[in-house]
Structure 1
Amino acid sequence: MKKDDIDNIIEQWANELPELDASPMAVWGRIKRTVKHSERRLADNFSLYQLNSGEFDVLATLRRSGQEFKLKPTDLYQSLMITSGAITNRIDTLEKKGLVKRVHDNEDRRTIYVQLTDAGYERISQAVISHTRTEESLLKGLTKEELAQLDQLLKKLLYSLENQ
């Protein structure tokens, strides 16, 4: 495989500080650059559906919840690992777009759910298919075996970070 910009950076550090093990810098540098490329492509895809990534995440979470496609705001923000203020803003925006609505529980009117509207259901059902195709295209440089290995390595890394 040919050298990339990260290789050049690591070589520069090796010249300047030979005692420095810059291998973690190489890994994180490549992860950060991969994220930048993927975020740009995914954002382009979201824009086809007049959504941003945060809005997509809310709609996708509701869509995969099944049945009535509704969740309590608390369940939404915990699932998305964001603050209650952030979920409120996203819900407000999606409600203005007509993609979600707030509904009261039939048995306890104090309980409020966020539910996909028919328009929200249609939008996310189309967007998630396109999103998955975009993600697949981002990974086309890897074989199925390499993808499985990368997935397991990232899972292991994420587990170690979340359990420190």
Structure 2
Amino acid sequence: MKKDITSYEQRAHVGRLLHRSESRLVVALDKELEPFGVTAAQYVILAALWYDRADTAAQLCKELSYTPGAMTRMIDRLEQKRLVCRVPHPDSRRANKLELTEPGRATFPELLAASTTVIDRYFGGYSASELALLESMLERMLAQE
């Protein structure tokens, strides 16, 4: 019996589809967040702070796969918009913690609603079991690192 071998072309096609899918989601999210003056890239930082997935630039870099330089620029922009502030880290004199400002905390629910609109548009037609399967496959792929 022949072993079923997935071709390189098929695997590469899946990679291209993943990239195109992410790009479309980002463009749609950018468009939905435009009235708030926030980009999709900035939104994911705000969401990580809102949900306590990170509270330092280093943790955000790891969570979001950003370079330290790119993260610094993003945090600077969010500070200029008065959505985020840097505060001294209680455990390190050299580090800063990041926090949502009062305007950041007040605005985030509206940003979340805008994000939900995009997510529902792209994933609303999938069943819970289909989403669970996709999620498990993506997690398995990421575990290959």
Same fold (TM over 0.5): yes
Identical-pair percentage: 25
Gaps of 5+ in 2: 1-6
1:18-68 Cα offsets, whole Å, 9 max, x none, are xx76322332233233223222211112213211122112211111118xx
Aligned match of 1:101: 85
The aligned runs of 1:102-117 (5 Å cut-off) are 102-105=86-89, 110-117=94-101
Of 6, 23, 26, which residue of structure 2 is paired with 1:36?
23
Q: Which residue of 1 aligns with 2:71?
A: 87
Which of 35, 39, 55 pairs up with 2:42?
Answer: 55
1:4 corresponds to: none
The amino acid that maps onto 1:28 is G
List per-residue Cα deviations over 1:67-116 (Å, max 9, x = no partner): xxx82332232322212211211111111111112222467654422221
Per-residue CA distance 1:137-163 (angstroms, 9 max, x = gap): 201332332222222222212212x2x
Aligned equivalents of 1:24 and 1:93: distance in 2? 38
* Structure 1: distance between partners of 2:91 and 2:25: 44
1:149–1:84 Cα change, 3 Å: same
1:1-164 aligned within 5 A: 22-65=9-52, 71-105=55-89, 110-160=94-144, 162=145
With over 3 angstroms needed to count, the CA separation of the structure-2 counterparts of 1:74 and 1:153, relative to structure 1, is closer
Q: Which residue type is aligned with residue 48 of structure 2? A: T
Task: With the length of structure 1 as denominator, give the TM-score of the two structures.
Answer: 0.71
Distance 1:144 1:98, change over 3 A: same
The SS at the match of 2:78 is: helix
Q: Tell me the distance in 1 between the aligned counterparts of 2:111 and 2:42.
A: 11
Q: Normalising to structure 2: TM-score of the pair?
A: 0.79
